[in-house]
Amino acid sequence: MSSANATLRIQDQEITLPLIVGSEGECAIDIRHLRDQTGTISYDDGYGNTGSCQSTITFIDGDRGILRYRGYPIEQLAEHSNFLEVAYLLIHGELPPPSHLRRFRQLVLGNAAIQQSMLHHFSGFPNNSHPMAMLSAMVNSLGCFYPQLASNDRSRELAQFEEAACILISKVRTLAAMSYRMKRDKPFIHPKTNVSYCSNFLHMMFSEPYADYVAREEVDRALNLILLLHADHEQNCSTSTVRMVASGGANLFASTAAGICALWGPAHGGANQAVLEMLQTIHDDGDDGTKFIEAAKSGDKQKRLMGFGHRVYKNYDPRAKILKKQCEDVLDALGLNDPLLDIALRLEEAALREDYFLSRKLYPNVDFYSGIIMRAIGIPVDMFTVMFAIGRMPGWLAHWKELAQAKSPIHRPRQIYTGHPARDFVPVENRPDP
């Protein structure tokens, strides 16, 4: 959507640049010809003010705490939908008719098993390997078993997109469970064919050869909600990475494996693990959170209140609101009393009385409460970011498809060079030793 113009004056040159206005009124200056017209580029370290694309998938209003997948408010999807239906919605753009949902579910649930020769990859990882390292490696390797789906021939890949997408949505879960088992030197548990997406994952995680784990309905529902709430979030770091890698023509397996790597960092998807470790430290120190909050106000990036703050939300993350309520429901349903939830609630209350957090609009984000639910389900902390990756897979796939269909150009940002001016080579014998 386009309308009106912006006028830009650079020294004695004045140019007009078109404005692009989105369906929710967001406005962008189209600077695609800025350098051609003026010889200058824009600068936006971290891209906080830069739109990389036009997208129809997810809408976020950070000031009002709004999140919608394909126009549907996250609150309604959380209450009435489920992870696989939302995955279909994100990928196809519409809620599925019953027959389409059945077919999609069958495609996903029927693709849970892993090729026998993939099992050997796991034996190559050291026992202390982080599950995210294993997951990204295994997702990329998966493409080797589907050369026809990982051909880097874009038109072929788009023609077979749904098959590849269902394989990835299904098998990322199996690979995750296998990385959990491998780390604990446990035998792999094969998927079942007659249980739900989440229950099958928990079966592959927690069953034993001699004793099946059967997920309680409340647990299946809680995990479904966590995955659904993580399914997409527009141009976050990992999704932008998927789009960056896809823009070079790379296939779905390589692009989503890159997304997993980007998600791993503690400033992004690794925050849920960091939140639990933070709450456990506060608990073990017998601190009521005051000491931690004081340290977080120092501005030291290493002492931040993990699970707080967001590049886009300058209000309460709507997902955090839903998860905070879900925490209490899940713990009640399971008859658990987790002291870390009490600490988290106290920490939030204390922080949101502090001008430091309020003045910077730092509120709980999706990671602040999600870990408490995963811990209640029995998922260990080192698997928290893996759960985020399983949830985000449909979003990555939807963005890969949107970029592929739009025939977007390769992503290649510019820079402002601030290094040495031209200088001549000095042979090593002429260089002074310090």
Catalogue the active-site residues.
310, 367
92, 186, 268, 346: which one binds ligand SDX (CB under 6 A)? 268
Q: Taking CB under 6 A as the rule, does residue 68 contact ligand SDX?
A: no
Output 30-34 pairs: Cβ under 8 A, ≥24 positions apart: 30/2, 34/8
Candidates 271, 331, 347, 387: give the one binding ligand SDX (CB under 6 A). Answer: 271
| For ligand SDX, the closer CB: 109 or 323 | 323
3-class SS of residue 74 = helix
Task: Write the burial class of residue 262 (CB in 10 Å: 0-12 exposed, 13-18 middle, 19+ buried).
Answer: buried
Nearer to ligand SDX, 4 or 267 (CB): 267
Give the interface size with ligand SDX as a residue count (CB under 6 A): 21
Contact status: 365 vs ligand SDX (CB under 6 A): yes
Q: Which three-class secondary structure state does DSSP give residue 334?
A: coil
Sole binder of ligand SDX in the list 109, 118, 165, 296 (CB under 6 A):
296
Residues 208, 121: Cα–Cα separation, whole Å: 22
Yes or no: say if 22 and 30 are a contact pair by the CB < 8 Å rule: no
CB atoms within 10 A of CB 236: 22
- Using rule CB under 6 A, residue 87 touches ligand SDX: no
Write the DSSP string, 128-148: T--HHHHHHHHHHHHGGG-TT
Cβ count near 277 (within 10 Å): 15
Which residue, 131 or 307, has its beta carbon nearer to ligand SDX?
307
Min. distance of Cβ 139 from ligand SDX in angstroms?
A: 18
Contact status: 255 vs ligand SDX (CB under 6 A): no
Q: What is the DSSP letter of 69?
A: E
- The answer to whether the CB of 352 falls within 8 A of the CB of 358 is yes
304 binds ligand SDX (CB under 6 A): yes
Closer to ligand SDX by CB, 112 or 340: give it: 340
The reply on whether position 267 binds ligand SDX by CB under 6 A is yes
In the list 90, 362, 387, 404, the residue contacting ligand SDX (rule: CB under 6 A) is 362
Which residues are within 8 A (CB) of 335 and not within 5 positions of it... i.e. 6 or more apart? none
Q: Tell the residue number behind the tokens 């925050």, with chain if given.
A: 271
Of 367-426, which residues contact ligand SDX (CB under 6 A)? 367
Per-residue contact flags (x/-) with ligand SDX for residues 202 to 241, judged by CB under 6 A: -------------------------------x--x-----
Among the listed ranges 13-21, 143-151, 242-250, 365-373, the one in contact with ligand SDX (CB under 6 A) is: 365-373
Q: Whole-angstrom Cα distance, residue 312 to residue 233?
A: 10
According to the binding rule CB under 6 A, does residue 306 interact with ligand SDX? yes
Q: How far is the CB of 348 from ligand SDX (least distance, A)?
A: 12
Point out which span in 3-11, 13-21, 192-200, 360-368 binds ligand SDX (CB under 6 A): 360-368
Over its C-alpha atoms, the chain yields an Rg (Å, rounded) of: 23
Among 22, 92, 4, which Cα is nearest to 60's?
22
Scanning 103-111, 266-274, 337-345, 422-430 for contacts with ligand SDX by CB under 6 A, the matching segment is 266-274
Distance separating alpha carbons of residues 261 and 130, to the nearest angstrom: 12
**Binding residues for ligand SDX, per CB under 6 A?**
233, 236, 267-268, 271, 296, 299, 304-312, 360, 362, 365-367
